[in-house]
Amino acid sequence: MIDPYRPGRAVISEIIEENQRIKTFVLEPLEAWPAASDQATTSAYQPGQFVMVSVPHCGEAPISLASSPQEPKLRLSVLKVGLLTSALHRLPVGAEVGLRGPYGRPFPMAALKGRRLVFVAGGIGLAPLRSVLESCLARPDDFGPLTLLYGSRTPDDIAFSADLARWQAGRQVDCRLTVDQGGPGWNGAVGLVSDLLADLQLEPEQSSVLICGPPPMIRAVCRQAAQAGVAPEQIITTLERQMKCGLGLCRHCHLDHHLVCVDGPVYTLAQLRQLEIMELG
Ligand SMILES: Cc1cc2nc3c(=O)[nH]c(=O)nc-3n(C[C@H](O)[C@H](O)[C@H](O)COP(=O)(O)OP(=O)(O)OC[C@H]3O[C@@H](n4cnc5c(N)ncnc54)[C@H](O)[C@@H]3O)c2cc1C
Ligand code: FES
């Protein structure tokens, strides 16, 4: 019988320094992944799902899959905040990590087909949305226009610069950036990412808004999108809770009567309103 807590081994094949606090780890599974499959594969997950990443003797943390299922290697983008994420940041190329998963309910990709997609991300929140974006770009005929509104604290905090440059150069994604605080050489927008949404000519009936970032940003953008006339079922976000098992067993991630690791982390505004956990507009 497969032990659900036993992590599979993966090796770090590349590290991208996104900014001073965020690194992207490109990983290659060394054994069957997910554990239930019979060969090492990177395509057995969906955008919005996460893995439990472990570093020996340091513990585990839930991290979103930032790669799309169509990409050849797994990518995890990690903000350094505490014990496990700092340990990950110290690892070199060639080091091994443990992976459990994938876990959680993904973004509803089939239901998003044909729609105009507006991605609204703050900081590291672009990680799970990158997975959706790359998945859409791999199937361009399936989706309408793609817009990304991306907010960072300062110009130095902008992460995923190589992705942003590629998406902009190919005119594949209408990328609009903003920072809370400008600085020398910054000629772009200064202000909240929710202000960028207010400036956008949304066609609310054709649009879906996908959001990931800090909770106050999620609340502001949900409210803004709802006020613009986007249906609550088409405003979709992903929530963070502290997690232990990731499997629906320990109840560490409970929220009202939900377990975010299995019932989430992806929720529509309509679902969140039923949970009555946030004043979401
Ligand atoms: C489904 C899901 C997906 C995630 N995806 C990513 C991702 O792609 N990239 C990324 O960098 N992070 C992601 N996170 C957050 C990440 O799991 C935490 O930052 C990580 O667990 C911190 O572990 P640590 O040992 O480094 O910090 P710790 O030493 O455990 O804690 C450091 C500080 O951070 C706080 N903290 C720890 N975990 C969380 C949390 N989940 N939410 C809020 N505060 C927390 C602690 O209370 C403490 O103040 C995700 C979380 C979830 C639930
Ligand atoms: S993390 Fe254990 S039930 Fe969700």
Q: What is the pLDDT of residues 76-100, one digit of tens each?
A: 999 999 999 999 999 999 999 999 9
Query: Is pLDDT of 279 > 60?
Result: no
Q: Which ligand is nearest to the CA of 253?
A: 2
Sheet holding 74-79, edge to edge: 59-64, 50-55, 96-103, 8-17, 22-29, 74-79
pLDDT, greater one: 140 or 177: 177
Return the half-sphere exposure (C-beta side, CA atoms, 13 A cut-off) of residue 247: 10
Measured in Å, residue 124 CA sits from the centre of ligand 2 at: 22
CA 200-204-208 angle, 5° bins: 90
Q: Give the mean model confidence (pLDDT) for residues 245-259.
A: 90
Mean pLDDT, the chain, whole residue set: 91
> 16, 19, 81: which to mutate for ligand 1, most atoms within 8 A of CB?
81
What is the DSSP secondary structure assignment for residue 105, as one 8-state letter? B
Q: Residue 220 and residue 208: Cα distance in Å, rounded? A: 16
> 239, 252, 257: which to mutate for ligand 2, most atoms within 8 A of CB?
252
Q: Which ligand is nearest to the CA of 252?
A: 2
pLDDT of residue 202: 87
pLDDT, greater one: 4 or 43: 4
Residue 80 Cβ inside 6 Å of ligand 2? The answer reads no
Q: Residue 281 and residue 33: Cα distance in Å, rounded? A: 40
pLDDT of residue 226: 95
Taking domain 8-103, whether its CATH number is 2.40.30.10 is answered by yes
pLDDT of residue 39: 47
What are 17-57's pLDDT values in tens digits?
A: 999 999 999 999 988 776 555 444 456 899 999 999 999 88
Closest CA to 258 of 270, 248, 273, 268: 248
| Domain spans in the chain, listed from the N-terminal domain onward | 8-103, 109-275
What are 62-75's pLDDT values in tens digits?
A: 999 999 999 989 99
* CATH class as words, domain 109-275: alpha beta
Query: Is pLDDT of 262 > 50?
Result: yes
- Binding-site annotation: residue ranges: 245, 250, 253, 261
pLDDT of residue 187: 93
